[in-house]
Structure 1
Amino acid sequence: MSDSGVRPAAQTEDNIKNMSKSKEATREMSPRRFISGVVEGFYGRPWTMEQRAELFRREQKWGLNSYLYAPKDDYKHRMYWRDLYSPQEAEQLKTLISAARNHNVEFIYAISPGLDITFSNPKEVTALKRKFDQVKEFGCRSFSLLFDDIETEMCPADKQAFPSFAHAQVAIANEVFQHLSQPEVFLFCPTDYCASFCTPNVPQSAYLRTVGETLLQGIDILWTGPKVVSHKISVESIEEVSAVLKRPPVIWDNIHANDYDPQRLFIGPYKDRPIDLIPKLRGVLTNPNCEFYPNFVAIHTLATWCRATPDEGPSDVEMISVSTGEEDQDSCYSPQKALTLALTEWLQEFLNTDQPGGPQHPASRLRKHLSDEEPMQTDIGEAAYVPGPDENPLYTAEPLTLEDLKLLSDLFYLPYEHGSTSQTMLLELNWLKKHSRAAAAQTEETAEWRSRAQHFDEMCEAVVQMFNRLSNAPNRSILYDLYNYICDIKSGVGLARAYVKTLSGHERPSAHVMNEDPEPWGFRGGLSGEFQRMLPGHGNRDLFKHPPSTAVYCIRPFCPEDKDEVQRIFSEMQRPGGDKVPLLTQQPLMSDVLLDLETPPLPHCALVLEDEIAVCGYAFALMDAKPAAVKIQREVDASVLKDFPSMLTVQVLPRVTDPSPAKRMISQLLSSLKNSGSTGVLCEVRHCDKRMLDFYTKLDSFKPIQIPGLPQDIIYLGARL
């Protein structure tokens, strides 16, 4: 094939296959090494040259062998892929490629031309080859062509030249692969790079079938698993996609990636990928957190996983562990033991007073330079300050511990899983909130509540102390990558801690938690959080296995079959108990007339609320309240009925803890009454019904109305329409 462009697909594929037979035969005779390492493929600020050099040192130390250069925000990798590197940029890449080679790490250079490439234009193909050729001159010998996260609609010119999007991509990939003399490592990222993107599924995906059948066998294919961020990757799923691709994939693993959520960081171990996958794969590359230094755990535990092969055993460290029943563990790899190994080694980095890079690091040289200067003048003979017996003691920074790092990992674990401490804190807070009445009452449950509240407070204090020790760690480079995250979790824990103390009744309500006008640090989310709370889906609850689930309620018009259920709810809510007064001794309400149901109410004036169990609430209204007042012999001032001619009542069972359904029913009835010509609505609440009184007073639309001559135990509220 010439360099002038892309020939018709069928002819190109036949020629390339014939040309590559001899080289493929040679490949089959010599085993290819398992690709293992890191892909810098996230969205956001790319790592610095110094951080990448540090990465190569770590990879060599831990036994990893590859680095895929694919930062999305490198303009000349993706957006301006046609542009050649300037002399200054070229020098940096040469230095980086050389540094990787010096540490036995294969530098894989990637280009992402899919945003705007015209596959059928010969000039585009030439530009792509020219860019790869330039990087090859820098000493790079491994390459990658990425077509991820792009539009799938081809331009008219490409539609005429190629039968499908897959054919266009494969034609380009095959030609570039041939142009580069079939390098030992050449990676191809398909547009459908995970099972969830495949239509209708992996085995029947026309796109994947085309890639598998027409992409040259010397080219390896990147795959993220069942999802973009895969919770688990099974052997069966890899066997399935391998059959379609006609080769084992290289896993591009996003399990530690955090570029999609600026509030999350992942410091949990590499897990939920059985080591039986290793012989089924061509390799694994982790695409980790955007922040460089917190990736110590992600990369270290991946290296431990790669070494723990079934044939060779757990290498230099014993990883055999008995299953806990909570997670499926391989006999040669335990995520928790791998995590402890990583954290133990990471702790030494935190305590290192020299910044990463050793004695020649600029910060070290700066300290040495300053130490050679003449010292600042101080008062001669001045002794160190010693506080008096009644004064504050000097602040002493406690050293960071392994337990602190274990807690840090628990707080920032994995996308689909909290660490054990985080899970416990969530469960405890849920229990304390659910049983908050026991805090003030003197019951058998009170002692348990207080004990668990104390335990929760101690866990919160441990987070605060971890934050303090971490903030005083000598290695500031790691701290600065973590700082926003640990500040956020400390603040969130502080809010929860204050709330529990408020529930205990020993402290006044916290302004941070209970105030209707809190400071900005008293809530989370910004505009993104506001949008999320307004949308139907509110998280997949994978992280908190036993949360107070959001019930699904149905609001519908009342029908005659609901009569018995509505009257049952009415009677149940009038039974004596707690602060309620027996029904026979109560003054009747005008709204009680609605519950006689002798005459079915109008459909637009009667609603019922259902949950998964049965009818659990109702909301009824009357356009004209006068007949109801007459029926119970209640004298109501004519001026009041002129301003508020209609009447409304609402009631829900105690199991409905969410006030939103009742608010929606009221809103719907108020709208119906207004559309029917009403100018205002009355509702009545007894003094003893503190639950409903509290509910109405929190609604902005209802205000108390002073009506002379009413029974003392009844409060009237009105809403103007």
Structure 2
Amino acid sequence: MSKPGSAGGRPQTGTGRFISGVVEGFYGRPWTMEQRTELFKREQKWGLNTYLYAPKDDYKHRMYWRDLYSAEEAEQLVALISAAKRHNVEFIYAISPGLDITFSNPKEVAALKRKLDQVKEFGCRSFSLLFDDIETEMCPADKKVFSSFAHAQVAITNAVYQHLGEPDTFLFCPTDYCAAFCTPSVSQSSYLHTVGEKLLPGVDVLWTGPKVVSHKISVESIEEVSSVLKRAPVIWDNIHANDYDPQRLFLGPYKDRPTELIPKLRGVLTNPNCEFYPNFVAIHTLATWCKANADGGQRDVEMGDEEQDPGYSPQKALTLALTDWLQEFLSTDQPGGPRRRPPARLKKESSDEEPMQTDMGESAYEPGPEENPLYTAEPLTLGDLKLLSDLFYLPYEHGPTARTMLQELDWLKNHSAAAAAAAETDKTVEWCFRAQQFDGMCEAVVQMFNRLSNAPNRSILYDLYDYICDIKSGVGLARAYVKILGGQGQPSAQLMNDDPEPWGFRGGLSGEFQRMLPGHGNRDLFRHPPMTEVYCIRPYWPADKMEVQRIFREMQGAGEGKAPLMAQPPLICDGLSAGEIPPSPQCAFVLEDEIGMCGYALALTDAKAAATTTKRAVSDSVFEDFPSVVTMHVLPRVTDPSPAKRMIGQLLSSIRSSGSRGVFCELRQSDRRMLDFYTKLGSFKPIKVAGLPQDLVAMGTSL
């Protein structure tokens, strides 16, 4: 069992040392040798003791694991291992042979031993075998020798471990490395039980927690897996990993892992962001967490209602990390780096010194009384870094400021109409006040961006630049939208136009795919109303006819003051909902929640047939522009508009695929809910239909 008190000290030999540090195990560009050396310095300074070398894109670590290192590569690794030793950091070399190894072939085992022997000659004394993210089906040759995949992996791991002289530190990463991968569960996993029973006791096992990227890791979950593995695991923590999403960066503190875990673990290694420099917070706060038990930390009385750990406060750890990080931002990382222009006029007033001279020997330019003042780059502040962290917090939550901005934007959007209708009432005053507050928060983001852009340390800036440009643009769009809602600006092309500039929207092809899938949106970190339901959108089947009719009848009777159905003017699309006309092939979808069917969207690619059935005379010009008709109903229990939007989006895509040029729908003016829905979609616009009854509205969209 590990000794938590050693987490913050120098690396120790033997199995009593608590492993704490960093694993470079992400997909993407590996860190440079210089960055890794800088990491060792930081680990030593902060009390961490381990570095696990496992970059997925080092060919000779994974894809070409059999190949020995060249003389030049060997020189680099020798230098890296030596640098780790100088800074009292244990260098663990990991290799991933699982993509194509044949476990039963002695030549393969020999190749693996030969490769690790070479690395041992470089001065490395700690090793790791990784079998993560590989196919679980054994080849026919291995099936003849091993009774299971776990037996094959354990056999080769034990053989290599013994060949290397049973090193003090030897890590094994299982294929089922989190609870979500275990079948049927952690306690009943035959794979994990084989690992626990057959793996030699000196080999430690890596584990990511309940999931690949675990929101929380509980003491109970670690006790469960430890019982099965017959040893305390080493946590490979992906809480700050961002290699799965190129638009996300994580600058929040290490959290949701109680310090009571420390005595129950062999160690913790963080696998952080791909970008090296933004990992300052992830590694710094992990170091604070690791030292919590040893330091006997006090309960943070400033945490309010947040769940508290008597030994560790994420918010205090974050502030400590950001305070130290600020000094790195303010130090020039390269000769000739940018310097902040001092406020020349203030200096001139407070001193009799001559004005600053330029490199050309000319006097500094001084603008005239009515000319633009010189731009002055203001220094970055701790508040800027706190805002930056809030905007790029953690995988399962936004920071406090980001949550507030989302809540305010949501409130302003939903109450703009009421405020406008209320004229000079208290509602208007409140709306304007909150709009002003929101604008101030947006301005703070812009100023943070400006000060970051002028920070002397360009290496950190360049790792952050794509992210801060993106958030600045997104905040700018929201800011402009609120001003439009408040009548302070004209609708801009990027917000309101059907043909926006490319920089006015996000996502590319990946975004297009996601918006077409049923689950898109139900894992948003900000939800209004809160998403508690899981919705399924599937194609309509003939057996759904009765349920569609039931929903249709229920929606016709909903609402106060509605006239009986027979007394209401017929809609062209009513025949679809009533089951009198079948929808066109591939042009019908239903929405289901945990209770059952709760909505539907049906279409006819040729609307003339429906018009004939309802005996409605419609001019041919309407059918030329909008040859198809659509109808949709969603029960009131579906309070989130996202599923309905996804369903209508899929339906329109199917209609477009049929070759239709456009689609229209008819709505009763009393149906405020559906009128509001189609209006907010943005693509449907009111259209003129000759002979349309007075209390009906027609809306259409081109495809």
The TM-score with structure 1 as length reference comes to 0.79
Equivalent residue for 1:341? 320
Establish whether residue 351 from structure 1 lines up as the match of residue 343 from structure 2. no
Change (3 A) 1:74 1:647: closer
Report if the CA contact (8 A) 1:321-1:333 is conserved. Answer: no
Q: 1:543 aligns with which of 511, 525, 535?
A: 525
* 2:190 maps to which of 181, 200, 206: 206
Question: Equivalences for 1:544-563 in 2 at 5 Å?
Answer: 544=526, 546-547=528-529, 549=531, 557=545
Q: Which amino acid aligns with 1:132?
A: L
**Contact 2:626-2:701 within 8 A present in 1 as well:** no
User: What code does the residue aligned with 1:313 have?
Assistant: G
- The residue that corresponds to 2:132 in the other structure is 148
**Residues in 1 aligned to 2:667 and 2:228: alpha-carbon distance in whole angstroms:** 68
Relative distance call for 1:693 and 1:52 in structure 2 (3 A) is closer
CA offset at residue 624 of structure 1?
6.9
Matched positions, count: 648
Structure 1 104/627 Cα, relative in aligned 2: closer, same or farther at 3 Å? closer
Query: In the alignment, what sits opposite 2:311?
Result: 332
Match of 2:476 in 1: 494
In the alignment, structure 1 residue 481 sits paired with structure 2 residue 463: yes
Residues 539, 189 of structure 1: alpha-carbon distance in 2 compared, 3 angstrom cutoff? farther
Alpha carbons of 1:281 and 1:703: their partners in 2 closer, same or farther (altered >3 Å)? same
Per-residue CA deviations over 1:256-309 (Å, capped at 9, x if unaligned) read 111111111111001111111111011111111111010001000000001011
Q: Secondary structure at the match of 2:494?
A: coil
Does structure 1 residue 247 correspond to structure 2 residue 236? no
The residue aligned with 2:582 is 604
What's 1:169 paired with? 153
Percent of aligned pairs sharing the same letter? 65
Aligned residue in 2 for 1:313? 296
Q: Which runs of 5+ in 2 are unaligned?
A: 1-12, 340-356
Assess, with a 3 A threshold, how the Cα gap between structure 1 residues 661 and 196 changes in structure 2: closer, same or farther.
closer
1:435-461 deviation line (CA, Å, top 9, x unaligned): 120242214322211111111111111
The equivalent of 1:401 in structure 2 is: 381
Does the CA contact (< 8 Å) of 2:573 and 2:610 recur in 1? Answer: no
Report the Cα offset of residue 433 of structure 1. 1.3
Provide the TM-score with structure 2 as the length reference.
0.81
Q: 1:235 to 1:540 in 2, by over 3 A?
A: farther
Q: 1:295 aligns with which of 279, 283, 294?
A: 279
**How much does 1:158 deviate?**
1.1
Distance across 1 between alignment mates of 2:441 and 2:622: 57
Residue 439 of structure 2 aligns to a residue whose secondary structure is helix
SS at 2:410 equivalent: helix
Where do residues 167-316 of structure 1 align in structure 2 (5 Å cutoff)?
Answer: 167-309=151-293, 312-314=295-297
Amino acid of the structure 2 residue aligned with 1:330? D
Distance 1:162 1:398, change over 3 A: same
**Which region of structure 1 is more displaced relative to structure 2, 620-629 or 335-344?**
620-629
Counterparts of 1:155 and 1:573, CA distance in 2: 68
Deviation of the 1:325 alpha carbon: 2.3
- Using the alignment, how far apart are the partners of 2:536 and 2:398 within structure 1? 29
Residue 501 and residue 573 in structure 1: after superposition, are their counterparts in 2 closer, same or farther (change >3 A)? Answer: farther
SS in 1 for 2:232: coil
Whole-angstrom CA distance in 1 between matches of 2:15 and 2:65: 33
Asked if 1:91 is matched to 2:75, the reply is yes
> 514, 525, 530: which is aligned to 2:512?
530
Who is 2:444 aligned against? 462
* Residue in structure 1 matching 2:41, options 41, 45, 57: 57
1:627 is displaced (CA, Å) by 8.5
Compute the displacement of 1:434 (Å).
1.4
- Displacement, 1:247? 0.6
Tell me if structure 2 keeps the 8 A contact 1:430–1:547: no
Mapped to 2, the partners of 1:644 and 1:411 lie a distance apart of 45
Q: SS state of the match for residue 91, structure 2?
A: strand
The secondary structure found in structure 2 opposite 1:604 is coil
Q: Which residue of 2 aligns with 1:12?
A: none
- Of residues 568, 581, 584, the one that matches 2:557 is 568
Q: Which amino acid aligns with 1:88?
A: E
- The residue number in structure 2 matching 1:578 is none
1:463 partner SS: helix
Instruction: Return 338-347 or 565-574, whichever deviates more.
Output: 565-574
Change beyond 3 A, Cα 1:435–1:93: same
Rounded Cα–Cα distance in structure 1 between residues aligned with 2:62 and 2:459: 29
The answer for the alignment partner of 2:343 in structure 1 is none
- Report if the CA contact (8 A) 2:41-2:87 is conserved: yes
**Which amino acid in 1 is paired with 2:312?**
Y
- Given the superposition, is the C-alpha separation of residues 178 and 700 from structure 1 closer, same or farther in structure 2, using an over 3 Å criterion? same
Separation in structure 2 between the aligned mates of residue 695 and residue 492 of structure 1, nearest angstrom: 25
Cα deviation, 1:657-715, whole Å, max 9, x if unaligned, reads 677489589979999xx9xxxx99997779999985995997789964557xx889988
Equivalent of 2:496 in 503, 514, 519: 514
Letter in 2 for 1:518: P
What stretches of structure 1 of length at least 5 have no aligned partner?
Answer: 1-28, 356-362, 368-375, 576-582
AA at the equivalent of 1:537: G
Whole-Å separation in 1 of the counterparts to 2:34 and 2:279: 15
The 1:167–1:397 alpha-carbon spacing in structure 2 relative to 1, beyond 3 Å, is: same
Other structure's SS at 1:403 match: helix
Matched, 1:421 2:401: yes
Partner of 1:57: helix, strand, or coil? helix
Measure, in 1, the Cα distance between the counterparts of 2:28 and 2:650: 46
Q: 1:521 to 1:563 in 2, by over 3 A?
A: closer
Name the amino acid aligned to 2:193.
Answer: R
Partners of 2:516 and 2:649 within 8 A in 1: no
Contact 1:293 1:478 in 2 (8 A): yes
| Deviation readout 1:533-553 (Å, 9 max, x if unpaired) | 100111453622545659959
d(CA) in 1 for partners of 2:15 and 2:247? 43
| C-alpha distance in 1 between matches for 2:213 and 2:522 | 14
Partner residue of 2:354?
Answer: none
- Whole-angstrom distance in 2 between the partners of 1:695 and 1:120: 63
Q: Does 1:123 align with 2:101?
A: no
